Structure 1
Amino acid sequence: MRRIHRTRRDWAADLGLFLFAACFAAVSAQSIPVDESLGPGWRAADQVVGGLGCAAVLLRRRRPVQLAVALLLAGGFAHYLTGPAMVAVFTVAATRPWKATAWVAALAFGPLPLFLWRLPDMPGDRAGSAVTYFALIAGSIGWGLFRRSRRQLIASLRERAELAEADAESRAERARMEAREEIAREMHDVLGHRLSLLSVHAGALEFNPGAPRAEIERAAAVMRESAHLALHDLREVIGVLRAGAGEGPAQDERPQPELADLPRLVAEARAAGGRIALAGPPEGDTPPALVGRTAYRIVQEALTNVRKHAPGADVDVRLTGGPGDGLTVEVRNARPSVPDPARAAAPGAAGGSGQGLIGLAERARLAGGELTALPADGGFRVHAWLPWQS
């Protein structure tokens, strides 16, 4: 016999059903018809069997089907087993599969056709007692089926709640991953730009330590400003990371670059010694914030790559388009005619991993546009189209 672990609630339910069966037998004792020809000992034996049946109710969790079958079969001879039989069939209907419930119900109502055939010839008290018995058994099975359906409904709702919670956690994790990817792109674009400027000037000073004092002071001032701005940008990125833990400014509250900031970006690159021609941005209407910020980042990363991979090359930056036509961004650099040894010696001139261009393509896709970056005429060309709704 398998071991059943009962909680306090289970014990309370079992004792409650045991008392129900015993009280039902006691209350219905006077209404049970007994054949007087059987003698007084028959009622006493019937009561003893009924008491054993009530005690057997405590085993309903171990063998409910076997208990129900035994009580239903014995109930044809012992009238005091009606209460325990009701508890047994209720347990089967509430806890066992539909097939087992159907077999128990068939056994319980098997005598019903014979009863209906003999009903006209039966005494009134016996007919009433039989009708009451079948009605009680039917009610017990119906109540058990209701409890089963209610338990299944609660289990289904609990499962759906758990799935919804898991789905919400999955969406939150995806949102966190997207936020981390956005932060990684910001760090690459912003810090890469600042540190490449710093690297260019440091390489120039290293290559030409005997430069005039004014030129050294100017380079040192640019290096100090670039380092200061890089630290400022780094603090902003760290603030975004802390915002996830309830600290620092939210990402949407951080000041983001706009298309109007593009001339300042080009001026910084020119101050580092780059020869850059800027055409645009288009005058008139201002593009949406996402489009302007994406265009700014594309130009920023393209200029950073020129400093790394083609130091000294001429750069042509063009922005054209307008509402309805979209914004076109093109950054083209030629092959350096005479390589600058000072810039080539700078640490920033080392080859990159290509993650910057991958990040730019992803930025353009998220903004609804597209980006291509390919060699062209011995140099390199970055071309992007971004949607600009009218």
Structure 2
Amino acid sequence: MRQGVRDACVTASAVGVGLLTLEGARQTYPDPARAHLIRDLLIGLVACLVLLLFRRRRPVRVALVLTATGLFASSSWGATAMAVFTVAVHCSWRATAAVTALNVSYIVLTFTQVDELTRRERLESVLVFLLGYAVLVIGGLLVRSRRQLIESLRERARQAEEEQRLRVEEARHLERERIAREMHDVLAHRISLLAVHAGALEFHADAPADQREAAGIIRRGAYEAMEDLREVIGMLRTDPGDGAPEPGARDAPVPDGEDERPQPALSDLPALIEESQRAGAHVTFDDRVPDPAGVPSRIGRHAYRIVQEALTNARKHAPGAHVSVTVESTGPGGTLAIEVANRLPPGPPPAPALPGAGAGLVGLRERVDMLGGALEHGHTQDGHFRLYAKLPWPS
């Protein structure tokens, strides 16, 4: 649609300038033959059609051809001028300068050959045409610069969107690694307990032989499961090329406590809130869970991480704002709901004082989706930012 409007405007301008030029020629030569007038109009019409059809595909060639038609028809000068404008819009400054210089030279030469004009009239006519061409060329260059600027802004926006997409994908990948490591720590602890109890039963003197044999099978299976788990998760703990041993190298040393780090639970939330308060944050905690210790460790661990990330985001984007944390549950077979809300600071959002990738909510989404829950976040009508997560609590 826009292209059609532009073509119509350019063609109309070419027709208007051509008719004005033809009228000026008629005043210079008062009694032209009728056949000459008709020929002039036909050549001008053909020039306008050529301009309309081919000006974008071959702008320089069209301008050269239309410059030649000016030798035979005054009405084609309008099409020639608009062809120079098109060259300024679509071609380099060198091509624009060459085509403009050719047309200006032709105009000056043409008016110097008109004996019917006085010297003053020649000079005025040349100046008018030169000023007109200057306006056309400068306007075309401005249009070209504006288009290049818009294109560069679009390219920057596309690159920014692509970078944001990559950051989100990286955040998801890192959060999945983090969750896998947490699961490894939990599973390692539980499997090690299983192996210890199975070992105690295997070497119990009063246990029947068949029970000791079964306990030995369980102990060996637990040990092999621990080794397999260590081998798989080892690929997540080290990056390729950093000099780390291969995942299959079982003699690689493991730091003390690496596989048995205590994982947070829902009962650790008061300590997290107290830590934020000691750091200067204004946080209130409304605990509506009757028995936090009875919440499954898997659910409680992710609930703790959600609150932790929400408090971090509040410190970054709304420093000094009051934050309210509410946790409530409907018991086994129901849900565990977490709500964190803070008032938005007035005016434009401040630059975060803490560094970050801006993808913390993406990681929370990964956690909630893994549990089959729901996550909502955004601005409320009363000027708050609210994060609400609902996690299923298996019966």
TM-score by length of 1: 0.51
| Partner Cα distance (1:119, 1:131) in 2 | 15
Q: Is contact 1:34-1:43 (8 Å) kept? A: no
The offset of 1:100, in angstroms, is 2.7
Change (3 A) 1:20 1:111: closer
Matched, 1:185 2:59: no
Matched, 1:52 2:20: no
Q: Select which of 74, 98, 110 maps to 1:79.
A: 74
The offset of 1:39, in angstroms, is 4.4
| Partner Cα distance (1:173, 1:381) in 2 | 29
Compare CA radii of gyration and give the structure with the larger one.
1
Change (3 A) 1:196 1:87: same
Q: Select which of 3, 6, 31 maps to 1:13.
A: 6
2:351 equivalent in structure 1: none
Q: Which amino acid aligns with 1:86?
A: A
- Structure 2 regions of 5+ residues with no counterpart? 239-249, 259-395
2:29 equivalent in structure 1: 35
1:128 equivalent in structure 2: 124
Matched, 1:63 2:58: yes
2:151 equivalent in structure 1: 155
Q: Is contact 1:53-1:71 (8 Å) kept? A: yes
Q: Is contact 1:57-1:84 (8 Å) kept? A: yes
1:25 equivalent in structure 2: 18
- How do 1:208-223 residues align onto structure 2 when only pairs under 5 Å count? 208=204, 210-211=206-207
| Partner Cα distance (1:131, 1:156) in 2 | 37
Q: Is contact 2:70-2:77 (8 Å) kept? A: yes
Q: Is contact 2:107-2:126 (8 Å) kept? A: no
Residues 157-183 of structure 1, C-alpha deviations (whole Å, 9 max, x = no match): 111111111111111111111111111
The offset of 1:72, in angstroms, is 1.7
Q: Is contact 1:204-1:342 (8 Å) kept? A: no
Change (3 A) 1:189 1:346: same
Residues 192-247 of structure 1, C-alpha deviations (whole Å, 9 max, x = no match): 101220233235435659549xxx9xxxxxxxxxxxxxxxxxxxxxxxxxxxxxxx
| Partner Cα distance (2:18, 2:6) in 1 | 18
Q: Is contact 1:204-1:346 (8 Å) kept? A: no
Q: Is contact 1:204-1:343 (8 Å) kept? A: no
| Partner Cα distance (1:77, 1:45) in 2 | 9
Matched, 1:90 2:90: no
Q: Which amino acid aligns with 2:168?
A: A
Aligned residues: CA RMSD: 4.1
The offset of 1:18, in angstroms, is 1.7
Change (3 A) 1:347 1:383: closer
Q: Which amino acid aligns with 1:50?
A: G
Change (3 A) 1:117 1:15: closer
- How do 1:204-283 residues align onto structure 2 when only pairs under 5 Å count? 204-205=200-201, 208=204, 210-211=206-207
Q: Select which of 102, 110, 114 maps to 2:97.
A: 102
Residues 320-367 of structure 1, C-alpha deviations (whole Å, 9 max, x = no match): xxxxxxxxxxxxxxxxxxxxx9599442233715549958976xxxxx
The offset of 1:76, in angstroms, is 4.2
- Structure 1 regions of 5+ residues with no counterpart? 1-7, 217-340, 363-373, 386-390
The offset of 1:119, in angstroms, is 11
| Partner Cα distance (1:61, 1:359) in 2 | 57
The offset of 1:84, in angstroms, is 0.7
Percent sequence identity is: 36
1:327 equivalent in structure 2: none
1:172 equivalent in structure 2: 168
Q: Is contact 2:40-2:73 (8 Å) kept? A: yes
Residues 15-51 of structure 1, C-alpha deviations (whole Å, 9 max, x = no match): 2322222233335543344334764543443233222
Change (3 A) 1:204 1:146: same
The offset of 1:94, in angstroms, is 1.0
Q: Select which of 332, 343, 347 maps to 2:221.
A: 347
Q: Which amino acid aligns with 1:132?
A: V
2:193 equivalent in structure 1: 197
| Partner Cα distance (1:124, 1:80) in 2 | 24
| Partner Cα distance (2:43, 2:161) in 1 | 53
Q: Is contact 2:17-2:78 (8 Å) kept? A: yes
Change (3 A) 1:182 1:161: same
- Match of 2:105, SS? coil
Residues 298-323 of structure 1, C-alpha deviations (whole Å, 9 max, x = no match): xxxxxxxxxxxxxxxxxxxxxxxxxx
